[in-house]
Amino acid sequence: MAIDLQQIGKRFRFYTNLKELEMEQLVSITGSDETTLSNIICGKNFLLDELVAIVRNFNDLNPQWLIYGEGSMFKPMDEDGNCPDGHKGCLQKDKAAYLQQMKDMLIELDAAEVAKGHHADVNALKAKLDQLKEASE
């Protein structure tokens, strides 16, 4: 299975936007430099070793989804509804405008994922965003 750096970048950008992580926070969380993080987010030349070192800092992020676009973005929650990092729920906020932004980003990912045959994954994410949007209204 070929690895597409641009798609990894789009998925990582989607994840960081969903978690409301700014570049300053990413640098602090990962200990990586801004150039490396920017290259990953933009899908430019980066080493997978750099990506793996960064991904280790996000306990709820599913690396299979990030690299290959397979499965769910988040690792499964435990029976109490906690993310793998121990926090309740995986989203910091669920404002309608914010969810709309995420939905718009999904449209961008949708074209690439459909071409790769992963339409069901994108539909599942859209359904989750719709549920969160309804709950916030």
Task: Let me know: does 45 contact 9? Beta carbons within 8 Å.
Answer: no
Write the burial class of residue 62 (CB in 10 Å: 0-12 exposed, 13-18 middle, 19+ buried): buried
pTM over 0.75: no
Q: Is the pLDDT of residue 28 over 90?
A: yes
Q: How far is CA 123 from CA 63, 70, 110, in A?
A: 19, 13, 9
- Share above pLDDT 70 across residues of the chain, in percent, rounded to a whole number: 68
Q: How far is CA 93 from CA 56, 61, 96, 122, 129, in A?
A: 23, 17, 9, 21, 12
Q: Is the pLDDT of residue 133 over 60?
A: yes
Out of 6-20, 98-112, 118-132, give the one with best mean pLDDT: 6-20
Q: Which of 22-31, 43-52, 89-98, 107-116 has the lowest mean pLDDT?
A: 89-98
Q: Which CATH architecture describes the domain 5-136?
A: Orthogonal Bundle (1.10)
